[in-house]
Structure 1
Amino acid sequence: MEHSGTVRELDADQPVRLQVDGREVASYVWRSELPASTAPRPFLHPVRTLAGTVVTDARPHSHTHQLGISIAAPDIGGQNFWGGRTFVAGHGPAWLDDHGTQRHQRWLRHTDSELAHTLHWVDREGAALLSERRAIACVPLTPDAWTLSVQTRLANATDRPLPIRSPAALGRVGAGYGGFFWRGPAANGQVRVQSPAGTGVRAVHGTTAPWLTVSGASTNAQWTMLFVPADATTAQDKWFVRARDYLGVGSSLTWDRPLVLEPGEQIERHILAVVADGNLTEDAAAALAEAARPPA
């Protein structure tokens, strides 16, 4: 994840606008004035298909801490970098004064279709728990689809072992979220979830699969989000999928047991999100997943 190239001054009050073949497809909010309870962090919203259909939501009424496409974690060393209530073992969700913040540090690269920067994940006192290098790229794929690449390298910035936990690790069965997360838009009617593991949320949630899709319709326009792990390590992470109450997909850093980073230890993850107009069939999704995946 070494990056060099075009870097120019950016207005801290304005998102970075990203393009594919001259069409604006995403905005990256890299600094924002959000309440501490949201675990403030950079996020992508709105993200659009090539035809202009918005396929993300941010700060919705149902879960105001969910922010488009972001990287978030509910428990890092006892600090909430997800937002909202914290799950407490033996008690359940509770409002605690434990929310962290992701702070931009330095731009490494920025063009019309790519960006890379460094961040610190800090607690409420401003102490860094994680240091991160993040790279985002927008790549044309077909006349009806483009690929969003999200790559992260997370390193323990403390002098002690740093546990990363999901609520599932604390007893909330099935709640193995944390890592890359997409909050989908309000959809008209039913949405369809499919993957090689099966069709429907129950078949996919908590499994590993080489790809999964969510297809729906918003304002009479059909769309599909196709999620693909881009490397062997990310492919071992389980999918978190939600289609009741809200629409969301995550690639989980850890499911029901802590992931502990030793001082200086780092992990890398790389997710591809293909943003497509129309509702993809299973065969079409498999073909696009293969086309989007980088060569071995």
Structure 2
Amino acid sequence: MDRPAVLRLGDQTVAEYTWRPDLPGTTSPRPYLHPVRTMAGTVVTALRPTSHQHHLGVSIAVADIDGHNFWGSRTFVEGHGPAWLHNHGTQEHVRWARRTPDQLRHSLRWMSIDREQLLTERRTWTARPIDSDSWALTCEFALTNSTGRALRMQSPAAVGRAGAGFGGFFWRAPSGPGECRVAAASGDGLEAVHGSRSSWLTVSAPVGDGRWWTLVFLAADPATRDDPWFLRTRDYIGVGSSLSWDSPLMLPPDTTMTRRIVVVVADGVLPPGRAAALSAEFGA
């Protein structure tokens, strides 16, 4: 495994990017960000927790692409349920286009277990300071179908697992010593956010000693604003922007799809008004 690439703001490391990981095949190996830190140094990502070894900090992962698992762990089979299949794909780094303290840009290929290239990708991570207590992480990715056929991209919800509309950008956060708080333009609490197309959502969790962290997720372009949010707070904290909610996404040959997500990483608890202002600033 190569040394992680680092995102810095000034002399402070805010995120590390493992771009060529050494991982078991059942995790659907892929590049990931971890640890991601607040300006005060609090880690706000979780890597390979015991209950979900395939959760890799911040990554791009899709449960099912033409029968190939790019999410990790079991595959949800319609009419059967979760099953261990020999179908785990791999995302492989190809080359760097930019590697500076505040921006990482590279190309990747998505390979099936039998070494068919399904997708090529251009991915960019950008770090930008906001104030002494917060900074913004922008994720931009463009996926191109490199096969000669249409690719079916789908979540477990699209084949019968109700509510499991995950797949795309996904952030696994650490669980704190108490319950987290959830707010969004669509309302407060899990039910108001999960499956919504809210322009912004916030998740805040305690660290201990009276300290909290907040993540503000912003859909930052029209295509991303049309994707529902996946949110889980029971058992663990996970937030994703769903490419396929309850129906498959079909990507024709030689077609490119793009998405842009901004996540504000902050110390403390941000009021909803501040989250709405950040959405107006970064979501244009």
TM-score range, shorter chain: over 0.9
Contact kept? 1:274, 1:292, Cα under 8 Å = no
Partner of 2:255: 265
> For the residues of structure 2 that align with 1:124 and 1:180, how far apart are their CA atoms?
22
Structure 1 residue aligned with 2:264, among 266, 274, 280?
274
SS of the aligned residue for 1:287 comes to helix
CA distance in 2 between counterparts of 1:195 and 1:99 reads 34
- Does residue 1:200 correspond to 2:184, yes or no? no
Describe the superposition over 1:154-199 as per-residue Cα deviations: whole angstroms up to 9, x where unpaired.
0101111110011111011111110000000121101001101111
Task: State how far apart, in whole Å, the 2-side matches of 1:85 and 1:139 are.
Answer: 36
Kindly report which structure 2 residues correspond to 1:118-133, keeping only aligned pairs within 5 A, or say none. 118-133=107-122
1:53 aligns with 2:42: yes
Superposed, which structure 2 residues align to 1:1-296 within 5 Å?
A: 13-220=2-209, 221-293=211-283, 296=284
2:135 maps to a residue whose letter is W
Instruction: Report if aligned partners of 1:185, 1:218 keep a CA contact under 8 Å in 2.
Output: no
> In the alignment, residue 92 of structure 1 is paired with which amino acid?
G
**Equivalent residue of 1:202, what SS?**
helix
Shift of 1:219: 4.0
Residue 51 of structure 1: SS of its match in structure 2?
A: coil
Distance 1:196 1:124 in 2: 41
Aligned with 1:214: secondary structure?
strand
AA of the residue aligned to 1:234:
T
Kept after mapping to 1: 8 A contact 2:175/2:205: no
- C-alpha distance in 1 between matches for 2:32 and 2:99: 16
2:73 and 2:84 in contact (8 A); partners too: yes
Q: How much does 1:127 deviate?
A: 1.2
* Distance (whole Å) between structure 1 residues aligned to residue 282 and residue 18 of structure 2: 25
Identity of aligned residues (%): 53
Counterparts of 2:36 and 2:266 in 1: how far apart (Å)?
11
Whole-angstrom distance in 1 between the partners of 2:208 and 2:19? 28
In 2, the alpha carbon distance for the partners of 1:62 and 1:246 equals: 9
Q: Deviations over 1:198-246 (max 9, x none)?
A: 1111110001010000001124331000000111111010000000011
CA contact under 8 A between 2:108 and 2:120: conserved in structure 1?
Answer: yes
After superposition, give the CA deviation of every residue in 1:91-123 in whole Å (9 maximum; x if it has no partner).
111111110000000100010110100000001
Structure 1 segments unaligned to the other structure (5+ residues)? 1-11
User: 2:94, 2:108 within 8 Å by CA — same for their partners in 1?
Assistant: yes
Partner of 1:8: none
- Structure 2 residue runs of 5 or longer lacking an equivalent are none
State the SS of the aligned residue for 2:157.
helix
Question: How many equivalent pairs are there?
Answer: 283
Q: By how many angstroms is 1:15 displaced?
A: 0.4
CA deviation profile, 1:126-174 (whole Å, cap 9, x unmatched) = 1110100001100011221100000000010111111001111101111
TM value normalised by structure 2: 0.98
| Separation in structure 2 between the aligned mates of residue 58 and residue 245 of structure 1, nearest angstrom | 15
